Amino acid sequence: MPGLVESLQGRDRGHLRIIADFWGIELAEQDDQATLQQLASLMLSPDRVDKLADNLAEPEKQAMNDLARNAGRLPWAQFIRLYGEVREMGPARRDREHPYQAPVSAIESLWYKGLVARAFFDTPAGPEEFAYIPDDLLEKYPSTAGGGKNMIGRPASALDYQHPYLVNDRLLDHACTLLAALRLGIGLPDAFTTQFGEELTPAILKSLMASCALLDGEGVPLSEPVRIFLEASRAEALAKLFNSWKVSLIFNELLFLPDLSFEGNWKNNPLEVRGYMLDCLAKIPTSTWWNLQAFIAGIKRNNPDFQRPAGDYDSWFIRDRRSGEYLRGFENWDAVEGRLIRFIITGLLHWLGVLDLAAPEGGVEVTAFRLSKWSQALLKGGAPSGLPAEEEHIIARSDARLSARRLVPRRVRYQIARFCEWGKETPEEYQYQITASSLAIARKQGLTVSQFLALLNRHSRAVPPSLVKALERWDKNGSEARLEKVVVLRVMSPEVLQALRKSRASRYLGETIGPAAITIKPGASQKVLAALAELGYLGEIRGEDDQS
């Protein structure tokens, strides 16, 4: 940042005299450049800096400390939101109205004391206007906030974390389920089961899988990357998910916020937001519960524009689906930025094993978080210790049902899921049913019954002989039994059926079941009843039918 001389450059002699008066400096009569050099030199006296700092009003001290905590500068738009404005006026009006004698804000007072300057600096998003303390003055300013970790927010109260929800590795199980579903082309529930916090939707998890390079451009699992991912230990797989998310250019947390829609051509930078959030969290003491609302409020106060270049709150078209209104202007910060911070903390970073969550009681909103037992390893890019090994076995039953506990190897469950119809799922178990149709689908994908049998023999304690026999018979003969829903017409005597066969309704009749019963083709029930009525027989429909 510029030094004091450069910062005061361009201020007229009258303004320099105002600054000199505040500092107790008497300026000699000389040219403007010499006056500027003299003033800057005397202002940088440590005794003068200490004396002026001691005499600042509390709001001025707070503003200066805020700048000092942020390496001496803050975006101008953010700074004036926090500490007020500087009235724009030329020398004549200034000398007439004397704004420095009754400043309207802490910033205006600091401006006329020469402590704060204003300039454009380059940022990754382009030039942006900042308020700043000149470098050489910042070195001497006795800020109480210059050292330390600059933690955002405050520790949680004991009530905030009465009901903790510790991290788990269920994300790995949901990832396995999603990959198998994508391979089979089947649908999924609206959300996966999570113990607490945000809702984990298939869309979010699919984007995470794409960030890990496990899917092709069409969203179909890539065989070899998926195999490597599923064969990795649970710790290695979790680390891969976190590390891939951390640097992902395609995962965009903002777009996953529920009840918001996004319009227009504006772009955000989720990678920068993610880096900023992780930097903030890294400063929080390990194992200390932190108040979530205070953390969000701290970011709003210290760096509200963390995702908006130059504090642009008007050109991003974000609409609340519930009210239909556009969330424009800084007054909607909590509904967008605040909601985003909450989503990252109580969603992504909890699912990925970095943060424990807590609430005052079960079933209420998250009020606190802390770095988890796995966070240190994950934040350094490594695999955490303490995750369970996948050593459980498949349970195969004679009725062609399979049960896979959560710690059956994920690569094994992924393959089983491709051979079966999916049944009930609980937090600890996945159930499957082997059917002729599920085996036919597997065969179309290039899988064989012999592969399936080898998988069952290798990863279950015992495969019932009857199940082995049934699989081998299907492989040779295909389906040898069929269940189907049909409409059956039953009449009081064979003569009625014979008369119906001779009528114009004969084309609606199906297979004969007995002398007084026959199946009816789909959709023809009413036509057959009408034909019977014409023959002098009134009938009725019992049970469900298509009524067509």
Asked if residue 102 has pLDDT above 90, the reply is yes
One domain, residues 348 and 255: yes
Beta bridge partners of 165: 357
Establish if 371 belongs to a structural domain.
yes
Label residue 75 by pLDDT band (50, 70, 90): confident
Q: What's the gap between Cα 103 and its chain centre?
A: 44
Model confidence band, residue 113 (pLDDT cutoffs 50, 70, 90):
very high
Confirm whether 548 is domain-assigned.
no
pLDDT at position 481 over 70: no
Position 544 in a domain:
no
Of the three residues 457, 477, 497, the one that is the final residue of a domain is 477
CB atoms within 10 A of CB 58: 8
pLDDT tens digits, 515-530: 888 888 888 888 888 8
Whether pLDDT at 1 is above 80: no
Is residue 111 one of the residues assigned to a domain? yes
Write the DSSP string, 89-107: --HHHHHHH-GGGS-SSHH
459 in a domain, yes or no?
yes
Q: Does 468 share its domain with 524?
A: no
pLDDT tens readout for residues 302-355 = 889 999 877 888 889 999 999 999 999 999 999 999 999 999 999 999 999 999
Query: Nearest-CA neighbor of 191 among 438, 360, 425?
Result: 425
Element (DSSP H or E) covering residue 166: none
Report yes or no: 180 and 418 within 8 Å, Cβ to Cβ.
Answer: yes
Q: Same domain, yes or no, for 245 and 368? A: yes
**Are 371 and 406 members of one domain?**
no
- Where is pLDDT greater, at 202 or 492? 202
Residue 148 lies in a domain: no
Residue 186: φ, ψ to 5°:
-110, 160
Asked whether residue 68 carries a pLDDT value surpassing 90, the answer given is no
Tokens of 185: 């082309």
**Statement to judge: residues 272 and 337 lie in one domain:** yes
Overall domain count for the chain: 4
Claim to verify: residue 208 and residue 279 sit in the same structural domain = yes
Tell me how far CA of residue 155 lies from CA of 284, 361, 369, 370, in angstroms: 9, 18, 9, 9
Distances (CA, A) of 506 to 340, 529, 545: 66, 12, 19
What pLDDT, on the 0 to 100 scale, is given for residue 546? 47
Q: Which domain holds residue 454?
A: 394-477
Q: Are residues 448 and 507 in the same domain?
A: no
Coil, strand or helix at 454:
helix
Of 438, 458, 477, the last residue of a domain is 477
